[in-house]
Each structure stands twice: as C-alpha cells, then as structure tokens.
Amino acid sequence: MIPESDPWLILLVVVPLLAAPVCVLLRSAGGAWSLATAVSWAVFAIALKLMDTVMEHGQAVYRIGGWDAPWGIEYVLDPVGAFVVVIVAAIGAIILPYAKRSVEKEIRRDRIYLFYTMLLLCLSGLLGITVTGDAFNLFVFLEISSLSSYVLISLGNDRRALTASFRYLIMGTIGATFYIIGVGLMYQVTGTLNIADLKTIMPAVEDTRTIHAALAFLTVGISLKLALFPLHMWLPNAYTFAPSVVTAFLAATATKVSAYILLRIMFTVFGAVDLFESFPLQPVLIIMALAAMFLASLSAIWQENVKRMMAYSSIAQIGYIVLGIALATEAGITGGVIHMFNHALMKGTAFMAIGAVVYATGAVTLKDLEGIGKRMPMTMAAFVIAGLGLIGVPLTPGFVSKWQLVSASLEVDMWPLAALILLSSLLAVMYIWRVFEVAYLRQPQTPLQNTREAPLSMLLPTWVLAALAIYFGANATFTLDLAHAAAQQLMGGY
C-alpha cells in the first residue's frame, strides 16, 4: 500500500526557504529577527508533529508534484530522520531568541537582516537533507546549507573569519563535488537516484568497480563535510572566528546532519549489502575515529582561545559518533545516534555560554577570562554543565552516550576500544579543567571588574538547553528508546 502524502514534510523545508527572501524584503533588523524566530518555532512545531506521525506509523512520505517514486522526488522521514529533524529544529528554535542581542553586538546593523536570511536558508538546507529520499536532491540541500554557512562564518568580526570561510568553501565544495561524483557513478550502474530504490538494486551490482569507486567518493566527500579526522582542517578556524550564534548553531546541527548522511549511505543505500564484509571500511573508520578522539582532544588541551578549544573538542566528539556508526551493530549505532543528540545539547550549551561571555566581555582567551565565574555565575554554571557532559560524568548526557558506546564495543569483544573511550575522556577532563580553573579559582582582573551577567534573552535560552542536557542525562530512557528504534530500523531496513 502506498502511504498517504504528508504535506507537513514539505512545509518543514518550504516555510524557512520562503521566509528567507521575505527577510531580505523586510530590510529591518528587528523585523527579520521576529520573522526568523516565528519561523523557527513553527518549524519546531512541525518537527514535533512529524515525530509523532513517525512514532505512530513508522514513516511519513510526501511525493512532490504527485509523481510516484522512483520517477518523482519523494520525501521520506523514518525514525533516524525524525530524530535528526527534531534536533535541528529544536536548536534553531532555542538559538533564535538568543541571537537577537548577540547579533546586535557582533554584526553591523545594516547587515543583520542578511544574517537572518542566511540562517533561515541554512536551517532549511539542513532540514531538507534530512527529509529527502532522493540522492541528488540531497546534494542540492547540502549546497544550500553549505553556501549559507560560508556566508554566516564570513560575517565574523575578525578578518580571519574571511579566510576561514574561504578555506571552508574550498574544502566543502570539494566534499560536495565528491558526493555528486559518487551519486553519478551509482546512477550509471543502477539508473536510479531514489534512495529506497538504490537500496533494492544495490545487491545485484555491488561487486562492480563502479560501485566501489562510488562508495569511496561518497565516504571521502561526506567525511569532509563531517570534519572527520584528518579532513577536519577547515573546522577550528571556522568555528573560532564565526559570530557566536553561528558557531553555536553550526556546531550543534551541521556536523550532526553530515553524520546522518553517512548513516543514510552506509545503512540505507548500502543497507541490503553487507558493506563491512565486502569492503575494509570498518578498520579505516575506527582508526580515524580513534585518531580524532585522541589527537583533537590533545590539541584542545593546548588552546588558549576557548572557542577554538571547543571546536577541537567537537572534532573529538565527532570521533565518538563515527566510532558508534563504524561498529555497525545495533548497540553501536544506537550509541552514535544518541551521541548526535547529546552532543548537540552539550556543544550548543557550551558555545552559547561562550557567546554570552563574549557579549559581556568581548574576550575569548583564557588569560582574559580569569575569575569570570565570579562575575557571570549563571553563564559559567551552564558552561560547566556542558563541560561535565563532554567529559561524560554520570547524570550528564555524555555519560549516557559513552556508556552506550562502551557496552557496544564490549558486545563485539573489542575491549581495547572500550578502554580507549574511557581514556580519551580523561583528556576531556584536562581541557575542561583548564577553563574551570581560570574561571573559578582565580581573582577577576581589572578589565572584568565591571562585568555583569549577560542579558536574560541570552541567558534563558542557554539555560533551557542546559536544563534539557541535565534532564536527558538523568532520564535517558526516552532518548535511548528513540535512538534504539532508529538503529533497529537502519539495521533492518525499511
């Protein structure tokens, strides 16, 4: 039976996409912000509605123009997709209220409406990637989100934001082009672009060199967008010099969506093929993930700039996500998927707290932040919660995902992996401690004497996210069930 078309699926993408040019027409900073905020909340409501539908029926489908797949483009949302859609939409809805004051301070007034235009385009692109059931359509959304994020990053105050954006553009375009080369090679052999259709045809053609080459191009291309070690070179500068809001938004969503593409390719497009049996992909991915966990954490320890420290920490956390995916067991994927959610919560909180500090003091380097914990107790408390989560202390979301990853590695008898996961957490202790020590155990210096807490409009969203982190850290049944359902469906196929 063909399921009914669910129009909410297309609205999820079209609403922010259409709101973006309206922002340009408004031309006023306040108007653009109001519209963007309203849209982000509407999108979040639609995302929850879709999540509900998916929980009830297993999936939601929309056929564009009424054309049946595989001829027309279809939008499909399954449990994994719904999970990622809710992450992206929730982060969007929380970050926009926060953005108002931060953006007013960091971006020239006559450019603010363009900022919101780009943010909406980026949101729409990220959501589009998650809902589309067409491999080429995915590329289009990938470029919509990428092009808008290059612009968002270049809006940073420091001139190094421009070069960071340029380097990201070069790397990102190569990544996306690799992706379409892969899609093209698959199309040559299978004659289809529909992801579900690709899955059914794949077993018949998997042993051709064309498909091997396609898989190689796809993996490398996505890894570039994902900033998987050693293809992460663009990320630290991009996150460091982008406006605070952009860093928080991209760190919490963009890499998660790239991880989602990786999941889609490996477990849906190649879902009917025993991918890890026929290609030596698993050891490669595990080694890259481990290298990311250790080397990026080590780099984080030596950073003086807190934003850059958190950027390196992001690369390390991506390592955990990829490690879970690479285990290719139900438990492993559950760990990877739940870490996508938990990391979005923790890194979102951390970068929003840093953004609030930048708003109040204008400083991001450790030596300028001595005693900041005494001046901005609420902001730094949120940062500490996020930091504890990154370490993986019990009762934080980081503990849930690390527990899941450790038990997943024990399940497949890879106990050295379990040990390495725990060991890498110690590195996180070191960099988080450096911030903690500077913020709490030192006396505020003269420049910070008059520093006051960030405005409520920034503090409140930061704390909403921190509270969510505490809640889902203490009570992970709900998220674990969701992640498990997603993993089950990925392993079983639809």
Partner 1 sequence: MFDWSSLKDYAGLLNYWVVIVLMMSGFYVVIAQHNMIKKIVGLNIFQVSVFVFYISMGKVDGGSAPILKDGIDVYSNPLPHVLILTAIVVGVATTALALALVVRINHSYGTIEEDEIQAIEHDEEDIA
Q: DSSP states of 223-270 as a string?
A: HHHHT-TTS-TTHHHHHHHS-HHHHHHHHHHHHHHHHHHHHHIIIIIT
Residue 209 lies near partner 1 (rule: CB under 8 A): no
Least distance (Å) between residue 324 CB and partner 1: 31
Does residue 418 contact residue 409 with C-beta atoms inside 8 Å? yes
Task: Choose between 22 and 162: whose C-beta lies nearer to partner 1.
Answer: 162
According to the 3-state scheme, what is the secondary structure of 424-478?
HHHHHHHHHHHHHHHHHCCCCCHHHCCCCCCCHHHHHHHHHHHHHHHHHHHCCHH
If phi over 0 gives left and psi between -120 and 50 gives alpha, with beta otherwise, what is residue 69?
A: beta
**Nearest alpha carbon to residue 297 among 279, 317, 281, 282:** 317
CA triple 102-437-394, angle to 5 deg:
85
Q: Are 338 and 79 in contact (CB under 8 A)?
A: no
Please report, as residue ranges, which positions from 356 to 385 form the binding site for partner 1 (by CB under 8 A).
365
Q: Residue 309 CB, nearest distance to partner 1 (Å)? A: 14
Which CB atom, from 301 or from 460, has the smaller least distance to partner 1? 301
Query: Minimal distance in Å, beta carbon 327 to partner 1?
Result: 32
Query: Among residues 31 and 184, whose Cβ is nearest to partner 1?
Result: 184
Binding mask 127-166 for partner 1 (x = CB under 8 A): ---------x--xx--x---x--xx--x----xx-xx-xx
Query: Whole-angstrom Cα distance, residue 448 to residue 440?
Result: 13
Nearer to partner 1, 184 or 444 (CB): 184
Taking the CB of residue 490, how many other CB atoms lie within 10 A of it?
Answer: 24
Q: How far is the CB of 169 from partner 1 (least distance, A)?
A: 5
Question: Stretches 50-58, 61-69, 173-181, 437-445: which one binds partner 1 (CB under 8 A)?
Answer: 173-181
Cα 444 from Cα 242, distance rounded (Å): 27
Q: Which stretch binds partner 1 (CB under 8 A): 72-80, 170-178, 317-325, 433-441?
A: 170-178
Contacting residue, 34, 157, 173, 278, with partner 1 by CB under 8 A: 173
Q: Which lies closer to partner 1 via its Cβ, residue 165 or residue 401?
A: 165
Q: Is 8 in the site for partner 1 (CB under 8 A)?
A: no
- Whether omega for the bond prior to residue 230 falls within 30 degrees of 0, making it cis, is yes
Helix (DSSP H) and strand (DSSP E) numbers for the chain: 21, 2
At position 30, the amino acid (one-letter code) is G
For residue 288, which phi and psi values (nearest 5 degrees)?
A: -60, -45
- Closest distance between partner 1 and the C-beta of residue 166, in Å? 5
Q: Which of positions 174-203 make contact with partner 1 (CB under 8 A)?
A: 174, 177, 180-181, 184, 187-188
CA dist., res. 269 & res. 196, Å (int): 7
Contact predicate 111/27, CB 8 Å: no
Question: How many Cα atoms sit within 13 Å of 255 on the Cβ side?
Answer: 39
Q: Decide whether 40 or 154 has the Cβ nearer to partner 1.
A: 154
- What CA–CA distances, in Å, run from 446 to 94, 284, 378, 450? 33, 51, 21, 8
Task: Between 143 and 330, name the residue whose CB sits nearer to partner 1.
Answer: 143
Map residues 418-457 to x or -, x wherever contact with partner 1 holds by CB under 8 A: ----------------------------------------
The smaller minimum CB distance to partner 1, of residues 78 and 197, is found at 197
Taking alpha carbons only, the member of 181, 194, 391 closest to residue 297 is 391
Which is nearer to partner 1, 147 or 454 (by Cβ)?
147
Residues 243 and 257: their CA atoms lie apart, in Å, by 21
What's the min distance (Å) between Cβ of 194 and partner 1?
Answer: 12
Please report how close the Cβ of residue 24 comes to partner 1 at its closest, in angstroms.
16
Give the angle 254-373-104 at the CA atoms, nearest 5°. 50
- Residues whose CB falls within 8 Å of the CB of residue 319, separated by 6 or more in sequence, listed in order: 228, 229, 288, 289, 290, 291, 292, 293, 296, 424
- Report in angstroms how near the CB of residue 174 gets to partner 1 at its nearest: 7
Site string for partner 1, 78-117 (x = CB under 8 A): ----------------------------------------
Name the minimum Å distance from CB 302 to partner 1: 13
162 vs 298, beta carbon nearer partner 1: 162
**Closer residue to partner 1 (CB): 147 or 286:** 147
Is residue 415 a contact partner of residue 409, using CB atoms and an 8 Å limit? yes
Count of residues that interact with partner 1, criterion CB under 8 A: 25
Out of 87, 103, 169, 429, point to the residue binding partner 1 (CB under 8 A).
Answer: 169
Binding site for partner 1 (CB under 8 A): 136, 139-140, 143, 147, 150-151, 154, 159-160, 162-163, 165-166, 169-170, 173-174, 177, 180-181, 184, 187-188, 365
